[in-house]
Amino acid sequence: MSDKTPTNHEISETNPDPHSHNESHSAHSHTEHSESSETRPHHEHHEEAHRAHQSTMEKEQAHHNHPPQEHMEHGKEHDSHKDHEEMDHSDHSRHDIGHSQHHAAMIDDFKKRFWVVLALSIPIIVLSQMVQMLFGYTLSFPGSKIILFVLSSIVFFYGGLPFFKGARDELNDRKPGMMMLITLAITTSYIYSTLTTFFIEGSEFYFELSTLILVMLLGHWIEMRSQLGASKALEELVRLMPETAHKLDEAGNISEVSMQELVPGDLILVKSGEKVPTDGKIVEGESAVNEAMLTGESVPVDKKPGMQVIGGSVNGNGVLTVEVEQLGDETYLAQIIKTVQEAQAQKSRTQGLADKAAGWLFYIALASGAITFIYWLINGEINFALERMVTVLVIACPHALGLAVPLVNAVSTSIAARNGLLIRNRNQFEEARNVDIIVFDKTGTLTKGEFGVSDLIPTQAISEEELLIIAGSLESHSEHPIAVGIINLARERNLPLEKVTNYENLTGAGLKAELRGKTYFIVSPGEVERRNISYDRALFERVASEGKTVVFVLEEDHLLGLIAVMDVIRETSKQIIAKLKELGIESVMITGDNDKVASFVGKEIGIPRVYSQVLPDEKSSKIKDLQENDTKKVAMVGDGINDAPALATADLGIAIGAGTDVAMETADVILVDSDPKDVLSIIILSKATYRKTVQNLLWAAGYNIIAIPLAAGVLASRGFVITPAIGAAVMSLSTIIVAINARLLKIE
């Protein structure tokens, strides 16, 4: 059955208790939704039929068409990242704003260091003995060595600072990687060159020092610009919370106080359209509360005394008196923040392929350098032994290694962007090729997050079109999701909507209005029961059993027909699930919706493994269970704030572009077109990127396999010793090769 085009009732199974669906509709209060966080006054109808369906849609957010800010999330390359993880996050707002600015500053810092080092490297290269020897010219004047030393010292300390900090972090974590390898090479070359300038005979390595730092700065600058950082997610969460509240004293007087002044047990007043300041229990008043930004459920939830409210949710048109229960770190929102922080900290420990390769080269360099020095010290003289050792250590960190991965990543990011993908976390994107299970949020992900009419069932001698005209005309005064679904179908069919008069909202029942001189009603099943209007119960039960919300259209007390609505399934959802299955990847659906809706959607799109009625704070636990119990790589696709912890916990978090900012900035990859079919593109591109990365690393490492033994002097007895000049020439050739190879990356 089409999700959008209504048909005469398609029946699957029966609902043993029709009243369970009747009662469910009470949550349908026809709240007027807008793209703002404000909830405007609304008419309430179909109340009882909607409660079972109040979890149906998890998204009603406007698409945020803003250009992504370039951030850097470079693992452990900088101590500032480590410092960030260890910070006290009690002041989230101040912290996250600072973190956002920090990312941008780090990009600018690498850019600035690159240009400064480039300017200094030009005279260093010209004055370098090795370059002079290579190109056959002589340039020497009084003080030239001192100038060379001073310029190189600036390059070493200023340009090398980020690598020193990164090396410190890798050392503390006992995970040697790129930073320690770079630091080893540049430190060795600087110390030895200083010794040859002032104290001993030998070849200086100022050329290798400056060019290595220059290339590595360029590589990291490219890398940072090719990915986005998850720096604003928590900032966006914090913005949901009001800074003040209306406190009630014992006499009932109202005073505006800061959130810091509240304590559990205080009574606060939440006016119409305001955000709920903190978690609590309603002691007086009734209203429909919009929890979409927090729970993902776009339909407002009816709240009465004794029920809980969540801080950050938006009150409807009622006035609520709330007893404060949780504050600060104990609130629902704070728990989401904590979960996201923990998950992101865990992810930051992931070591990328390049770092792993660099780690192995680091140990090889140390071992080769030590063996080389000891051997030539025993069989030669100390100056020659030092020169050979330094040559080995410097050559062990080839320029190509600094560009091998960043260039591939930059090309990969460009290809991704052209295909509607934004990569935020490079290391996690690498894991996409190994994903075994993909967990899909239902509403707003596999479905569009909006109601569409699925069934038009006239019961009198009228056509579907006539039934739709009447219903659409009556609903034209509402922007409630159900009303919007009915009106949209009428417009798609180019049916004329007529003007109604004497419009009246029937609280808890539906609505009525006059049309063509007659009185019409759109009501819930419960209201039909109360009026003792007969209808086909078997038909209703079959339609309701598919998880659909059913409303009744009446002319006075005569039943004209039934209209069933449901969250519209995306056209591509079934296709992507089938293709993933062909690749051997299991698809799982997780939703807060009821069993009926979840089972129906899962069956329609071909997902056998469905988790329903999952609370927002339980989604990340489900991800952990899949990771631990199945010992597999798990990806999560979602769109709401409630998905943020799960997105951060998963091995790969994928956010729908039309979702909330928090979800997008917590995820590792964003689907700009909001189409789940692009998940397949992620996997294909990840595999292609990995293959190209391995190729480049083999080129870079292959250089070392040949160069290190030659630098160590294994052929010295035959009169062949690789000089720094020859090493530099081969090094440059290797760099050109990896650059060309990176440009050949494409999606097959």
Q: Which residues are catalytic?
A: 441
Helices marked H in 69-91 = 79-86
In this structure, are residues 567 and 447 in contact, taking their beta carbons and an 8 Å threshold? yes
Task: State how far the Cα of 685 lies from the Cα of 691, in Å rounded to an integer.
Answer: 10
296 backbone φψ class: left, alpha, beta (φ>0; ψ -120 to 50):
left
**The tokens of 488 are what?**
């949209």
3 state DSSP class of 296: coil
In this structure, are residues 727 and 134 in contact, taking their beta carbons and an 8 Å threshold? no
Task: State how far the Cα of 558 lies from the Cα of 555, in Å rounded to an integer.
Answer: 5
Side-chain half-sphere exposure of 481, counting CA atoms within 13 A: 30
In this structure, are residues 454 and 565 in contact, taking their beta carbons and an 8 Å threshold? yes
In this structure, are residues 160 and 186 in contact, taking their beta carbons and an 8 Å threshold? yes
Task: State how far the Cα of 705 lies from the Cα of 708, in Å rounded to an integer.
Answer: 6
Residue type for position 114 = F
Secondary element (H or E) of residue 245: strand 244-248
Secondary element (H or E) of residue 299: none
Strands 609-611 and 549-555, by their bridges, are unpaired
Task: State how far the Cα of 512 lies from the Cα of 385, in Å rounded to an integer.
Answer: 96
In this structure, are residues 630 and 435 in contact, taking their beta carbons and an 8 Å threshold? no
Nearest to 650 by CA among 665, 662, 638, 641: 638
**The tokens of 219 are what?**
């590589």
Buried b (16+ CB within 10 A) or exposed e, 602-623: bebbebeebbbebebebbbebb
In this structure, are residues 400 and 700 in contact, taking their beta carbons and an 8 Å threshold? yes
**The tokens of 517 are what?**
């001189």
3-state secondary structure 502-549: EEEEECCEEEEEEECCEEEEEECHHHHHHCCCCCCHHHHHHHHCCCCE
Residue type for position 43 = H
Q: Roughly how many angstroms between the first and final C-alpha of the chain, as a whole number?
A: 34
